[in-house]
Structure 1
Amino acid sequence: MENQSSQTCPREGRVEDKEQHRESGMSNISHSSFLDENPAQVEPPLQPSKSVVVTVSDPRGLHLRSGRDVVRIASRFQARITAANLSRNTNAVDLKSILQLMQLQARQGHSLHLAASGPDADAAIEALCSLF
């Protein structure tokens, strides 16, 4: 009862697939066709127009429920808002993303550096400070 042909892919099929790709021109696609002929100039990173260091006061830390409130408030503003956990030495993350916010792993007593840049940066930082 040898039924190995159904378990493994035959080599001949692979060769046929490669030849079909060659015939269709798939192997002749050059990488330069995907590159922009006039690359856009890279913008310098935005400098924070307002930043502050806050301390997490919740005994449970910055958990999913309190994180949801942070994201809701941050999303109300046009400003780009980031946070970094100074106690854990993390990179800055986008406060409008709950997944990125959870990466901070902020516990009670941790220091977070909040930074905002944009038209309503001051108001965004003030609103967020009230949560910590």
Structure 2
Amino acid sequence: MSDDRLRELADAAGLLVEWENSDGELCELSPDTQRILLGVLGFPADDDAAIEASLARLTQWRNPTEPAQWPPLITVDCDVPVTLPGPMPRGTAYVLTLEAGACSVAKWRRAIGCRPSARWAITTCRSPVSS
């Protein structure tokens, strides 16, 4: 199993593999700990095939061709325009969940092929959303 590819996956998933502790000592996550943490995060890394599949999924999340390939969660700040990972077709349903827990269900109303950085608008909503 390639520790280089494992490290690449850990970096891509946002794990801090090396750091300096408060005593100035260099610390590093062991490959076994990286595999465990990556698995908990939903990126299996038990063998080379799993690492490659997880890297491919992360790459797809960063370069999606349709909303179904986007990450399951996009976190943003209120009143700040959001750059979406890619175009979203008109009428695509989404859920907006505020930090306090209130939810709105809405549909994207911009034209197909709009710039991902365009502001979105809620056209229909109900709150709270029942699960």
Q: TM-score range by the shorter chain?
A: under 0.3
Which of the pair has the greater relative contact order for Cα pairs under 8 Å at 6+ separation?
A: 1
Q: Which has the larger radius of gyration?
A: 1
Q: Which has the higher helix share?
A: 1
The normalised TM-score by structure 2 is: 0.24
